[in-house]
Structure 1
Amino acid sequence: MKMKKWLSFLLAAVLAALCLAGCGGNQNSAVVEEDMNQCPEDSYEINWYLMAEPQSDVHSIEAALNDYLKDKINVTVKINCLSSAQYGQKMNTMINANEYFDLCFAARWMLDYVNNARAGAFVALDDYLDSYLKDTAAGYNEGILDCSRVDGTLYALPVNKEMATQYGWIYRKDIADKYNIDMSQYKSFEDLEPVLAMIKENEPEMNYPIDWSIDTAPFTLYQSENFIFKDGTYPDDTVMNIFGTPEFKQACETARDFYEKGYVRSDVLTATDQLQRMKEGKTFVMLQPIKPGKVQELFKDSTYQFAQTGVTQPMIDYLAGTGSMQAISATSKNPVRVARFLNILNTDPYVKNLVIHGIEGKHYTKIDEKTVEPIENSGYDLYADSWTIGNVFLDYLTTAEEPDKLEQLKQFNAEAKDSRVNKFLLEANDDVEQRQAEISNVIDKYKKQLVVGAVDPETTIPEFLEQLDVVGVQEQIQYNQEQYDAYLKTLEQ
């Protein structure tokens, strides 16, 4: 089905963008400035929270880091690792209770960067960009920091990594080679169906030929992200309820059809082990967000061969600047010193690799100048979390990765299409909070079961749309349209 060039309205993204009730502001109004060329006499401990699995030998890294930083900026660093399952709740509890910490991972999808920034949870960094963070700021591609701003102000530094978003097929290469399947020729789930039918018939040891979750189902190729279809098309600037579009209906019908034909697992609504099953060779293909080296990251220790190919065009969307960030807490007692540490983290290869790989000879073996081999059961390895911590272009690669991965990432960013809506945010409005909560509840009730194919769209979509109308979706669309029109005018200036 040809994509209609509409400007769509994804209510779930809108809910994330609107401000929750809150007040506050930067509690460090009297910031003590420091000489960038001097090492301060007084030591300061940085209390840093990472979204990563706890490491048994983290104290060794802290000791090495503290020794290295003592004569540079005179800080000690306390590394607190929280699993992704714990991170959001723990950090939001600390923020809401106004508890002290210095530095943390934040994102639009985790720790609610936009709303917490508006509520005063993080230090504004604009005044630091020409001083304490000057070297870091110089390393970003043009426009990325603007994508990170909230109402014109920068409250966190984006991790310098792949900035584009692209979706593609990740698939078992051995199976594709066996049947001479060129996966690059398939640009939709509908196109892929004959392949799935053939594999289901000829590869009985596979539980199912395809798998997906709510974020990687057929709807993913249609759905909007901050009012834009993922293929990057721009329509007539009309905000719409995407759940009422023909594209949404077709995506749900495709998912339901595949579900009923047994191409996808029957417990898809509740399953959480999609990647593990893929790793075990029990699935042929999945749609995933991809980048250079993604297959090696996901399946480096699998016994099967996997490959990837793009379906959508790489695009610099709203997640470019807010998908992974480091933010200084408004409760920090010395935000300037923390900013100086953040600058070192993003510009000093020794510090970045110490934090992600650990200590040479203890946690990894260095193969050559740019390549390392992790030591099993060493007690420390945060390399899988590097994308949440700091400039990935400083990273030592592992032997499981392609040697030119970092060059590929740079090219990936350079060739990506720039979305004109990647700086758009809805303004806070207390009057819409109740309506937003009610809309969110309706979406949570219906969306997942529809997009994964667990229910009949013919009967469920009309019910879904009716319930959205009851809770005020049309009023919300009008509100969003006014906000978007105002944003478009700023682009003309």
Structure 2
Amino acid sequence: MRKNNRWMMLALVLTLAMILGACGSNNTGNNSANAPAQATDSATEPGSGNADTGNATAAPGGVDTSKEVKLKMIFVGPKPVDYDSVFAEINKKLKEKINATLEGEFLDWSDWAQKYPLKLAADEDFDLIYSANWAGYNDQALKGGFLELTDELLSTYAPETMKAMSDVSWDQAKVNGKLYMVPQNRGESVEKLILYREDLRKKYNLPEINSPEAYANYLKTVAENEKGIAPFTPETGDWKYHNLDRVLLKQQNEWNMFDLDLPFAFKLTDEKGQVFNVYETQEFKDLLVYYKDLADNNAWSKNVLNSKNDHQADFKAGKTASITHNNGTLGSLMALMRQENSPYEVALADINQGKKKSVAISTQNGTSIHATSKNIERSLMLIDLMQNDKELHDLMMYGVSGVHYEPVGDDKYKALDKNPNYTGFSNWNFNSPLNRDNEAFPQEASDLAKGWEANVYHYKLETFVFDNSKVKTEIANVGNVMLRYAIPLEYGVIDDIDKGLADLNKQLDAAGLDKIQAELQSQIDAFLAKQ
């Protein structure tokens, strides 16, 4: 708290200096985040400790940027092949606008889950980091890894984002009433779909894949007849629930889970928000029977628990017959495969048709500032530009115009041959109304998303955030139990399902599950009482 107060005082001093400077100059008062740099001779950069003299460069709003700053940001996903060429262009623009450059570090999908928290725990020297609810945003905020973003900081250094973002989005990103993220400013669906080989479905004259049973039939048929092709490949990483769980458990039963690192859910339609242990439900036991049947029929690799394979790359290469992800990701992969004239015919399957759908809250993607960053002001200015400056937004999201993409009007783009050289990493934190849509995005994916609109369900706990500070030890213990006992069950590795479930729940009880559930329910009850 002491650190945050210091920055608030610095921001206040800076604001007063700006006002006094404006009174004695010909300042035009242009505070646009896209305005050209102006000259000043009196401002001092907050936190620099030294006053620069002479013709200093000022960013929009009169903020002193005379001292060049090198920012570093942590992304998740593989480093793009054309990182150097694209970021060189990005840095030219950043140098012009805020006298800063940006270096990216990339945590590959195969090991990001282990490395991400270590980056924050070790107090490494970096300024910005991709953050998301599914990447432990709440937990890392409470641990002190992220800087608290006050209204004063945002209004001074990210004024365009402050104006463009809705109050709902800001509120959804707060943890215990405090903000630690600049969230994305464009909504998206979080519903999971299945992308599969339509040519294989047709080859074996299989029925439409529109139910869990039809999907199981497809997987077992591929396993029996297509040697060398894995019927299904999951995402890699320490997921407590893999994406297929979210299709067959969460969406199929119209449940929601507060935190995918905990085994708690509630029914979307439950106005009281009563949480329960997923592993104690008949629905979960039935799913394990479903998974065991698939495992026994070779629906996935025997080495699935240790696999480091990129499921999207494997699908694109024809090594697997199906994967799961959200509509946007799978639609983009379909568009890429068609652009490259893939020999495989692919299609999307929604096996939860007619079920209630939910949309992502703003913390699905966002940007946080490292609590120990020495460049807080410039980091916020960078976020402001990336979300609101068309030129920089296009570069960060799509690469170099004429090389990776071709603009189509103001809101669409055409992917060029080198487009794959700049994809696959977490630039989604800068999602905003400036986003372009791929003109080749499959119509069937767009139709699916449009069809879901009638089933989108908004529930009272959409903006609830669990403060886990009182049960941190228990949560860590429960997470370890889930990885050790639940994951093997879900991949059908355990022959005796009843014994496996009993062992799992016994271990969860010993890890302190009841204490977590009591604390969670207490906070939910208090939250709903205020509605």
In structure 2, stretches of 5+ residues that fail to align are 19-30, 32-59, 236-240, 251-255
User: 1:290-340: per-residue Cα shift (whole Å, max 9, x none)?
Assistant: 3372442675654312111333457446x5222221112333345333323
* Worse-matched range after superposition: 301-310 or 177-186: 177-186
Going from structure 1 to structure 2, the CA distance change for 1:404 and 1:45 (only over 3 Å counts) comes to farther
- The answer as to 2:298 corresponding to 1:262 is yes
Aligned equivalents of 2:137, 2:416: Cα separation in 1: 33
Letter matched to residue 163 of structure 1: E
- TM-score norm. by structure 2 comes to 0.73
Q: CA deviation at 1:408?
A: 9.0
- The answer as to 2:171 corresponding to 1:171 is no
1:168–1:289 Cα contact (<8 Å) kept? yes
Superposition map of 1:339-354 within 5 A: 339-354=380-395
Aligned equivalents of 1:142, 1:419: Cα separation in 2: 18
Superposition map of 1:145-294 within 5 A: 145-178=170-203, 181=206, 183=208, 185-186=210-211, 189-200=212-223, 203-205=225-227, 207-212=229-234, 215-218=242-245, 220-223=247-250, 224-226=256-258, 232-234=268-270, 237-273=273-309, 274-291=311-328, 293-294=331-332
Letter matched to residue 485 of structure 2: Y
Which of 472, 486, 491 is the matching residue for 1:447? 486
Q: CA deviation at 1:451?
A: 1.0
2:91–2:100 Cα contact (<8 Å) kept? yes
Letter matched to residue 332 of structure 1: S
- TM-score norm. by structure 1 comes to 0.78
Q: CA deviation at 1:349?
A: 1.7
Q: CA deviation at 1:417?
A: 2.6
Residue 505 of structure 2: SS of its match in structure 1? helix
Residue 444 of structure 1: SS of its match in structure 2? helix
Q: CA deviation at 1:71?
A: 5.2
Aligned equivalents of 1:193, 1:229: Cα separation in 2: 25
Going from structure 1 to structure 2, the CA distance change for 1:132 and 1:66 (only over 3 Å counts) comes to same
- The answer as to 2:376 corresponding to 1:335 is yes
Which of 319, 325, 334 is the matching residue for 1:296? 334
Which of 86, 93, 100 is the matching residue for 1:68? 93
2:266–2:273 Cα contact (<8 Å) kept? no
Q: CA deviation at 1:345?
A: 0.9
Q: CA deviation at 1:61?
A: 4.5
Q: CA deviation at 1:243?
A: 0.9
- The answer as to 2:103 corresponding to 1:79 is yes
User: 1:166-195: per-residue Cα shift (whole Å, max 9, x none)?
Assistant: 022211122334456564632xx2353344
Aligned equivalents of 2:295, 2:428: Cα separation in 1: 35
Superposition map of 1:419-438 within 5 A: 419-430=459-470, 432-438=471-477
Structure possessing the higher radius of gyration over alpha carbons:
2
Q: CA deviation at 1:351?
A: 0.3
Which of 279, 302, 309 is the matching residue for 2:349? 309
Cα root mean square deviation, aligned: 3.8
- The answer as to 2:43 corresponding to 1:30 is no
Letter matched to residue 466 of structure 2: L
Question: How many equivalent pairs are there?
Answer: 459
User: 1:353-411: per-residue Cα shift (whole Å, max 9, x none)?
Assistant: 222444345x43636444244454x9x94343364341255345557545999999799
- The answer as to 2:502 corresponding to 1:475 is no
**Identical aligned residues as a percent:** 21
Going from structure 1 to structure 2, the CA distance change for 1:113 and 1:447 (only over 3 Å counts) comes to same
Partner of 1:320: 361
In structure 1, stretches of 5+ residues that fail to align are 1-22
Q: CA deviation at 1:147?
A: 1.7
Q: Which has the higher contact order (CA 8 A, sep 6+)?
A: 1
Going from structure 1 to structure 2, the CA distance change for 1:443 and 1:305 (only over 3 Å counts) comes to same
